[in-house]
Structure 1
Amino acid sequence: MTAGLGIVFALLCLLGVVMGFRDAPNSVALPVRFRALTPRLALVMAALLNGIGVVLGMGLITLSVSFFTPHVMSGVVGHITVATAVLVAVAWGLLLWWRRIPGSTAHALLAALAGAHLAAHLELGHELEPVVMDRVGWEVAVGLLLSPLLAWGLARVLTPPLVRLGTTGSTVNVQHRARIALAVSGGATAVGHGVQGGQRLGLLWAICLMGAGVPPGAPAASWVFGLSAAVFALAMAVGTLGGAWRIAWTLTERLVALDPLRAAVAAAVPAGLLFVGSLVLHLPLSSTHTLTAGIVGAGQTQTYASVRWPQVLRVVAWWLLTPLACLGAALLLGLALLLLV
């Protein structure tokens, strides 16, 4: 049991590194593109704020987790389920990075959890818990459909008045205000992304601790959980320093041609939505989906055709493929691992 917990913990740390690496452009791409921050300063800032966000996110949840029941996630089966989901999410995230596609690691992880749970049901006859499948389906739908539409709509509505307000004064002052807004929005996005990442990592780790028989309210559990928060924060910070500039290039150059003021609005929208998703709606909103939709929405307010729709549709196609591919991959991998064990 201890060995299983150690393996799951190491995989969760790996997931934290990949989440930081893959999603670093969400907070640094636009500020660096418009010279609000230097690349090195932007990455250091994002790494620090991501780490702080992870600690805050894990502090917002408790060990009284009802997402999965202890029956579903207990013992070796629970460890295999979580490990399978993490491996699939990591592999999918790296594939999208190689393809220069801004995608959601969170929704890949959720779909993989559903696939691994389905594998346990098919291989071992475990009861298929509706709370797992329904919750995953709802949250993936919100992340894939509602949150990008909301971010796109907010960017479309807010960009024209904010641009009019921001263009008062000299050109130097306009550029200065836009860069300040980009730097602040990038920092807020980094914190929000860290909060969301901390909630995901903390939730999975708390479930594994409960499945291993650790009492939720025990002092030892609180100590282990607190120490784990520091390790996960460090893992995500280290991953963030990698930068993933391949995806940053897609966000800043291949989707839409933006000016600094519109870029500032596009960066502010996901920052606000991430905090609303974490603190109010308790939903795993994707910083990647909301930022990409915000960039497209802000770009559509320009007088010339700035949106490169073939590239946008290519990104959306990968978004739609993510839950299906990750669920199927986790189902096959879960069946294989459970058969071996």
Structure 2
Amino acid sequence: MTAALLSLIVILALALLFDFINGFHDTANAIATSVATKVLTPVQAIAMAAVLNVVGALTGTAVAKTIATDIVPQQFATLELVGAALVSAILWNLFTWWKGLPSSSSHALIFSLVGAGVASGGWGIIIPKGVQKTLTGLVTSPVLGFLVPILLMFLLSWLVLRHMRPRAVTRNFRWLQIFSAAFMAFSHGGNDAQKTMGIMTFALSAYFGTQIEQVPLWVILSAATAMGLGTSVGGWRIIKTMGFKVVDLKPVDGFVAETSAALIIETASRLGIPVSTTHTISTSIMGVGTTKGFKKVKWQVAGRIVVAWVTTIPICIALGWLVFRIFELFV
């Protein structure tokens, strides 16, 4: 076995490790609201999310192609660059998981790739269009995540809720929330697992020295499986933050938050835009909370979440740059 092949195997293993960590780090995105409203038990919610994460991951590759071709050109791909990006993103994911902060695994990976790319070839090799697409998703998904559930809740209140007794609302939306939680898990797998597919394809391009436009089937299957396994472990620290510390949720609130977030994420996946499922569901929960009254949202906790969002980009760029420089010294 050559040193280059061994390096490739290590990089692919790191990518799947990142995907696994992404699974348990972002489990809260798919299940926190259904656990908080007691529509599903934690075990039921995690099992459902694990299966639907895998199913969602098999439904497209548009986001994967963005990661593989639109951030750093494949002709500049090296195994050291990919390895530095993965190690940086893994370190940030583990730190934010330890702190119980729902940060974005997606943006951790993308901006770690940017940082490693800058260390490798300077800012000139970064593709502005791809970064702009990512930043567009970064800005629009949480804004829509906040506004869409407010509109949906007012629409539901006008059309349905005002004609139902509170007990009937809770009973009916307990069932509906199971479907919205499933939709959220499906959309999460469809967007997030594709980032790992993209970075694995980027690594294969570095090893073979040629541009790879189609994501190989075995890459799709392995990334989907790794995310599903990670989801099955569950990220309880972040689940507690998302489900219990931002706003007091009822089944109708969970249904509205999950449905809104899933629609936004699924649309982005079809357009090839890598968005943060964390940002989207977090702001959807906040949006639902504001319909109950501004004071119902625990804005101090929400502020900590926003800080994690804002700091992810510069920290991961710096981490990606630093890890690449360390690799240069020792690899």
Q: TM-score, normalised by structure 2?
A: 0.91
Counterpart code for 1:173: A
Instruction: Structure 2 unaligned segments of length 5 or more: list them.
Output: none
CA distance in 2, matches of 1:139, 1:60: 11
| Alignment partner, residue 308 of structure 1 | 298
Unaligned runs of 5+ in 1: none
Distance 2:212 2:102 in 1: 39
Identify the residue that residue 308 of structure 2 maps to in structure 1.
318
Structure 1 counterpart of 2:136? 142
Q: Give the Cα separation in 2 of the matches to 1:251 and 1:101.
A: 9
Aligned-partner residue type, residue 157 of structure 1: L
Q: Distance in 2 between matches of 1:217 and 1:321?
A: 32
Are 1:182 and 2:177 counterparts?
yes
Aligned positions, number = 326
Q: Distance in 2 between matches of 1:205 and 1:130?
A: 18
Instruction: Please show how residues 270-289 of structure 1 align to structure 2 within 5 Å.
Output: 270-280=261-271, 282-289=272-279
Letter of the 1:69 counterpart: P
2:104 alignment partner in structure 1: 104
What is the identity, as a one-letter code, of the residue corresponding to 1:250?
T
How far is the alpha carbon of 1:267 from its aligned partner? 1.4
Counterpart in 1 of 2:190?
Answer: 195
Tell me the distance in 2 between the aligned counterparts of 1:60 and 1:91.
23
d(CA) in 1 for partners of 2:245, 2:163: 29
Q: Does 1:23 align with 2:26?
A: yes
Report the Cα offset of residue 177 of structure 1. Answer: 2.1
- C-alpha separation between the residues in 2 aligned to 1:237 and 1:151? 24
- 2: CA distance, partners of 1:149 / 1:188: 20
1:178: how far off?
Answer: 1.4
**Separation in structure 1 between the aligned mates of residue 198 and residue 106 of structure 2, nearest angstrom:** 12
- What is the TM-score when the length of structure 1 is the normalising length? 0.88
**Counterpart selection for 2:125 from 129, 132, 143:** 129
1:207 aligns with 2:202: yes
Seen in structure 2, the aligned counterparts of structure 1 residues 262 and 63 have a Cα distance that, compared at 3 Å, is closer
In structure 1, what is the equivalent of residue 74 of structure 2? 70
Task: Tell me the distance in 1 between the aligned counterparts of 2:100 and 2:212.
Answer: 44
Query: Which letter maps to 1:168?
Result: H
Q: Which has the higher mean CA deviation after the structures are superposed, 295-304 or 17-26?
A: 295-304
Query: Aligned in 2, Cα 1:120/1:63: closer, same or farther, shift over 3 Å?
Result: closer
1:40 equivalent in alignment to 2:43:
yes
Percentage of matched positions with identical amino acids:
27
Q: Which moved more, 1:290-299 or 1:171-180?
A: 171-180
Gap change, CA 1:29 and 1:217, over 3 Å in 2: closer
Q: Which residue number corresponds to residue 84 of structure 2?
A: 84
**In 1, distance between residues paired with 2:76 and 2:286?**
41
Name the CA distance, whole Å, in 1 between partners of 2:327 and 2:221: 30
Residues 63 and 209 of structure 1, relative CA distance in 2, 3 Å threshold: farther
